[in-house]
Amino acid sequence: MSWGVDYSTVSLLFTKIPVRPFSSHGHTTKPFQGDFMAVISMKTFLEAGVHFGHQTKRWHPNMAPYIYGIKNGVHVIDLRQTLSKLKEAYEYVKASAAEGRVPLFVGTKTQIQRIVKEEAERCGSPYINFRWLGGLLTNFGTVKQSIARMKTFEEIAGEDGSYDGVLKKEALMMERKRMKLERSLGGVRNMKSVPSMLFITDCHKEQLALKEALKLRIPVIGVADTNCDPTGIDYVIPGNDDSPRAVSLYANVISTAVMEGLAVYKQSRIESPEEVKPAAKKAKPKEKDSNQKQTETEVKSQKTLPKVKSSVKKSKTKAEDPEKKEIDSDVNSQQADTKEKLTGAKAADDAKKITKKTDKKEKVTKPKAATDTKQTTKKKASVDVVKVPAEQPATQPETKAPAKTAEAKSASKTQTKKTAEKTETQTDKTKVTQAKKADSVKEKKAKKTDTEK
């Protein structure tokens, strides 16, 4: 319900982006310093038409606390509560973005699609602006597969979208599928997991998204008009959800909150390693100072020691020498005994291992030797058999070769004669049978003619 707002000539004075003087959806922007929510006032809400609700007959009773009154059969929303609730949502989104969590923008109405896309892209958040696919949150695994499929189509298409090396019909089919996936999943292509929160511009229309978020216990920031049920929405923003001006205001507030929170998050990540490094550098000089002090004290103590102590030490060492020698001899004898025991045990273990290996080798070599002997005997027998016929023609005289050739020629001649005779007899037989058949046919015809007469 747009209430006849001229969308092309709208000007908002609450935006905080200093980079672009004009946003792409037609609203002028102004940079400013300080708290963002301090700029938004009741006047901006009235200009955007946030206070307009639906007809009284279409209201939801749970929205009664947020309704200010009735005018011309239409509910009027209490803008004081709208302002306070929007501020709460702004602070929550900013705090969560400072921890690295980003919301998913959801708005599928035709007049809102462009605004949702631009505000989400401005703060680097994912968005759904064409149609909410059922199971986008609860069945995110299959959604990831379809996103990967869309990316493969884009790779095949190339940067120009010419589909080089693909047939024309196949290219058309692939382009249609790619466009379909791009419309519904283009804003979620970089979303690697389920989002940490949802920002819904119309909770009455996007009930599927709200139900999935409730099932997965994802916090929801939602705009609720007078015909909407606010139960299940964690951060309710009571206001008009049909006017593009009002929706652009809500989306702008949330996107700036995300940007401010992400800026804090990046600064904290940059500062944390820088703080650790100086602390480590400062710790090292302290250690050096302590080591130097210890060395200085040791040197001083050595210098101050009297010379008398050296003579006392010499006398003590002379008395203790024979006792030390006896103890050392006992220790050395014990060490020698233990070494001998260890070497003996190692030698026994090595001998056992060697015997085991030899037994295994013998077991393996015996069957191999038997099989090798059998194979060699078979080969010798086959070689002898082959050699006998090969040696016979060498012993025979050379004069017998032409005789054999003459015999072979005579045999071939006799065979050709026999085959010729057989063919002649067969032709004779076929001729006789044909003549008999012709005679029988003539006799039959003659009989027929006699009967007819």
Question: In CATH, what class is 39-137+194-270?
Answer: alpha beta
d(CA 391, CA 248): 108
d(CA 340, CA 336): 6
Contact at 8 Å (CB) between 115 and 179? no
List of residues 6+ apart from 107 with CB closer than 8 A: 113, 115, 116, 127, 128, 129, 200, 201, 202, 206, 247, 251
Does 265 or 422 have the greater pLDDT score? Answer: 265
> Which sequence spans correspond to the domains of the chain?
39-137+194-270, 139-191
d(CA 44, CA 60): 26
| pLDDT value at residue 370 | 59
In this predicted model, what pLDDT tens digit does every residue of 257-303 receive, in sequence order? 999 999 999 888 887 765 555 554 554 544 455 556 566 665 555 55
In this predicted model, what pLDDT tens digit does every residue of 133-176 receive, in sequence order? 999 999 999 999 999 999 999 998 888 888 888 888 998 999 99
In this predicted model, what pLDDT tens digit does every residue of 174-193 receive, in sequence order? 999 999 999 999 999 999 89
Q: Which fold has domain 139-191?
A: Helix Hairpins (1.10.287)
pTM of the predicted structure, to 2 decimals: 0.54
In this predicted model, what pLDDT tens digit does every residue of 224-247 receive, in sequence order? 999 999 998 999 999 999 999 999
